[in-house]
Structure 1
Amino acid sequence: MRTSALGLLAATAALAIAASTAHAADLPGRYSPAPAYNALPVFTWTGFYAGLNAGYGWNVGDSRYYDPAFRNGKRSGGFVGGVQAGYNYQFGMFVGGLETDLQYAAVGNKGASYGTTYYPGDSDGFFGTIRARAGVAVDRALVYGTGGFAYGDIGGNRGYDTLLGYHSGDEINWGWTLGGGVEYAITNNFTAKVEGLYVDLDTKDNYTLGGRVNVDRDAEFGVLRAGVNYKFN
């Protein structure tokens, strides 16, 4: 009798433990599941872009005696502004690309001079560049150098010069440019930059005797400008 009672008690206890274990398995866990991880998109400089810029240009040449654009006593600097467009390609931390821009430039009077006589022209001009860019990206900041081909109608293009002859109209001159800058991605699409350029345009051959006299009439000027770009995805 006692043996039967003990067996019944043991069986009851086993059933209770099994039921308790099953119930515990149905209860929610004490720890929440690990949250899903959504990685933020990594910014890249790769892509096409276009934008606007504005700044200041000034004479940096040392042969201005016969140069009408930056002669002493005349305006030697002024507003520069325009548009730019280009393409970047990023590989690792390095960025390479091409950029072209077209600028209005009021950097000097376009006329002619000889000795103390000045034959004024107008102060409006333009220039453009086609440049390679190469730099290093640190997160959203890009530090780069740039250089390439330049063209424009800036100085030494109008009026009468008693030494070099007569030239009656505007002409596009050719040259080169070199510079650098810093650009920062404010968002994935908008960037802002500060850039400096040195531009050298050969203007001496615009005059009848320019090649024979070999007077250096290059329009040499610096440009400091700020700009914004929209980067296309």
Structure 2
Amino acid sequence: MKSLLKSATALAGVLVAGSALAADLPRRVAPPPVFTPVPVFTWTGFYAGFNAGYGFNTADTRAPTVIGVPAGTTAANSVFINQFGQPATGVVAFGNRNSNDGFVGGGQVGYNYQFTPGSGVVVGIEADAQYVDFGRSRNRFAFATVPGGGIAPGTQVFNPNGISGLDFFGTVRGRLGYAWDRTLVYATGGFAYGSGGGQDFGLPNSSRDNFQTGWVVGGGVEYALPTDSFFNFFRSSAVTLKVEGLYVNLDQGNRNNGVFAQTANGTQYSVFSPSVVSVGPANLYRRETEFAVVRAGLNYKFNGF
């Protein structure tokens, strides 16, 4: 019995000592949670995309051009004669009409730099090239003769209609804007260029290909799609949508070189004959191609969030 008692006492002592030792050991503490910061969106980076929209004319192109045709030395080389059959001075009035409106579509590439990611000033540069499906401009004319006179016998009169239009245009523009996270509002402006063919119908017929240069200004709003957006098919934060408006002004010499009259002795008169003098608005001598474009576009930004 005494042995049993001693054994129990010894066991109790071991248990008490073990508990005391365990109390002195350091406790295991769960590690603190790790929080991964959400990347801040930045507009910095290269991008490329495509766009489509509508362009429409902004200039009044219906004003006439009136030119004076001098009298010849004889009735045989004069376009006009007076009531006595003598050479006389007359005038010719040309009417112009231009219809620049239709589909516009193309692509663009560019680079943006945002000074402070998240919200802040954004600067950039963009170049684009656009196909244009515009209507064609037309030039028509009508004779106005001297009172009591008319066109000299043997003179042939032609209707030198001309058509010209824009086939494509492009721009190289700077961009300056302010971003509120994924929304960017910007202004843009810079250099513009374009080209289009044309034909003059008269004597002789002629054709031309006009390359024009000028300037462009505009502005727009661009939005970067979140990765969980239904419209973000790439499941990437690098897809952006934009709506943009531009005003384009291209300087163009719209010259109708077709002959409008040939006298009985073969002398030809065109708008640019040395002896022809403008006596009214000279819209056939120099004209500007002016139009506005409203378009929507999609871009893919190649690097960054």
TM tier relative to shorter chain: 0.7 to 0.9
Unaligned runs of 5+ in 1: 1-11
Instruction: Give the one of 249, 254, 264 matched to 1:200.
Output: 249
Identity %: 46
Structure with larger Rg:
2
CA distance in 1 between counterparts of 2:104 and 2:38 reads 39
Instruction: Give the one of 50, 53, 56 matched to 1:55.
Output: 53
Listed as ranges, the matches of 1:62-77 within 5 Å are 62-65=60-63, 71=97, 75-77=99-101
CA distance in 1 between counterparts of 2:53 and 2:202 reads 31
Instruction: Give the one of 123, 136, 140 matched to 2:178.
Output: 136
The corresponding residue for 1:3 is none
Instruction: Give the one of 146, 150, 159 matched to 2:200.
Output: 159
The corresponding residue for 1:179 is 218
* Residues 43 and 107 (structure 1), Cα distance of their counterparts in 2 relative to 1, 3 Å cut: same
Give the aligned length.
Answer: 211
CA contact (8 A) 1:177 1:200 kept: yes
| TM-superposition CA deviations, 1:5-51 (whole Å, max 9, x none) | xxxxxxx698476235136x44x44xx43211211222211111111
So what's the TM-score if we normalise by structure 1?
Answer: 0.75
Structure 1 residue matching 2:185: 3-state secondary structure: strand
The corresponding residue for 1:19 is 21
Instruction: Give the one of 126, 146, 161 matched to 2:168.
Output: 126
CA distance in 2 between counterparts of 1:88 and 1:115 reads 54
CA distance in 1 between counterparts of 2:192 and 2:113 reads 23
So what's the TM-score if we normalise by structure 2?
Answer: 0.59
How large is the RMSD of aligned CA atoms in angstroms? 3.5
Structure 1 residue matching 2:210: 3-state secondary structure: coil
Unaligned runs of 5+ in 2: 1-12, 66-95, 144-158, 226-235, 258-270
Structure 2 residue matching 1:35: 3-state secondary structure: coil
| TM-superposition CA deviations, 1:169-217 (whole Å, max 9, x none) | 111111111000011111432111100000111113655668x965352
* Residues 190 and 202 (structure 1), Cα distance of their counterparts in 2 relative to 1, 3 Å cut: same
CA distance in 2 between counterparts of 1:130 and 1:106 reads 21
After TM superposition, the runs of 4+ consecutive aligned structure 1 residues lying more than 6 A away are: 115-118
The corresponding residue for 2:31 is 33
Offset of residue 114 of structure 1: 4.1
Question: Are residues 1:224 and 2:298 paired?
Answer: no
Structure 2 residue matching 1:19: 3-state secondary structure: helix
Offset of residue 127 of structure 1: 0.7
